Amino acid sequence: MLVLRKVKDSDVRVVFDLANDKTYRAFSKNSAQIPFSKHLEWFKTRAIINPYFYIFELNNSPVGIVRFDSADGLDFYVSIVVSVQARGRGCGSQMLKLALSEFKLANFEIKGTVYAEVHRDNAPSRKLFEKNSFTMESDVQDNFIRYKFQGRNV
Ligand SMILES: CC(C)(COP(=O)(O)OP(=O)(O)OC[C@H]1O[C@@H](n2cnc3c(N)ncnc32)[C@H](O)[C@@H]1OP(=O)(O)O)[C@@H](O)C(=O)NCCC(=O)NCCS
C-alpha cells in the first residue's frame, strides 16, 4: 500500500535523486542536472519548510514525491516524480489522488487553484493529469501546456 508522509530532513538524498531523474529534468523548464550543493541549499531553505511536500513509500521504500508550490499562497503548481522502477504501474495516479486529497484537507479555507505545467511531449504526465481532473487551460507556450485542476476548489 502506498503511504504518504511529509518530507523530512533525512529525505535529502532521495529527493535529490528524484529531482535529477533524467526524464524529469528533460521535461523541466530548466533541464540541467542539479548539483548536490545547490540541492542542499534549496532543500534546507525551501523544501523542508513547504508544508505541502509529500513523499510516498511502498513497503517502506520511497517511490516518489509530489509537491505543491505557490508564490502567493493562493495559486499552487503541482509537480510529481515517480522512481523509474515504479513507473507504469499506477503509482503516479494514486500518488496524485492522495496528494490532492491531503492538500485539500490542509487548505480547506483557501479558494485558490491548482495548476500543472507539463511539457507537450511528456505523454505519461499529460495522461496522468488528464485522468485526474486536470484540463488544458492554455495552448502550448514554449513547449509547455498549463493544466488546471477542476476538482473542488482547494
Ligand atoms: C509522469 C509520471 C509521474 C507518471 O507516473 P506513473 O506511475 O508512471 O503513472 P501511472 O502508472 O499512474 O500512469 C498514468 C497514465 O499514464 C499512462 N502512461 C504511462 N506511461 C506512458 C507512456 N510512456 N506513454 C503514454 N502513456 C503512458 C498510463 O497508461 C496511465 O494511463 P491509464 O491508467 O489510462 O493506463 C512518471 O512517468 C514520472 O515520474 N515521469 C518523470 C517525471 C515527470 O515527467 N513528472 C511530471 C512533470 S509535470
118 Cα: distance to centroid of ligand 1 (angstroms): 12
Contact, 103 vs 154, CB < 8 A? yes
127 lines ligand 1 (CB under 6 A): yes
How deeply is 136 buried, as exposed, middle or buried, from its count of CB atoms within 10 A (0-12, 13-18, 19+)? Answer: middle
CA 63, 21, 7: angle at the middle one, nearest 5? 45
pLDDT digits (tens, 9 = 90+) for 69-86: 999 888 999 999 999 999
- For the whole model, what pTM was predicted? 0.94
Give me the residue spans of the domains in the chain: 2-149
Return the CATH superfamily for domain 2-149: Gcn5-related N-acetyltransferase (GNAT) (3.40.630.30)
pLDDT, residue 139, reads: 79
Q: Which of 54, 55, 58, 82 has most ligand 1 atoms within 8 Å of its beta carbon, as the pocket-test mutant?
A: 82
* Mean pLDDT calculated for residue range 48-77: 95
C-alpha cell at 120: 507537450
pLDDT, residue 109, reads: 67
Residue nearest atom 16 of ligand 1, based on CA coordinates: 124
* Average confidence score pLDDT of the chain: 94
* Mean pLDDT calculated for residue range 144-150: 94
pLDDT, residue 77, reads: 96
88 lines ligand 1 (CB under 6 A): yes
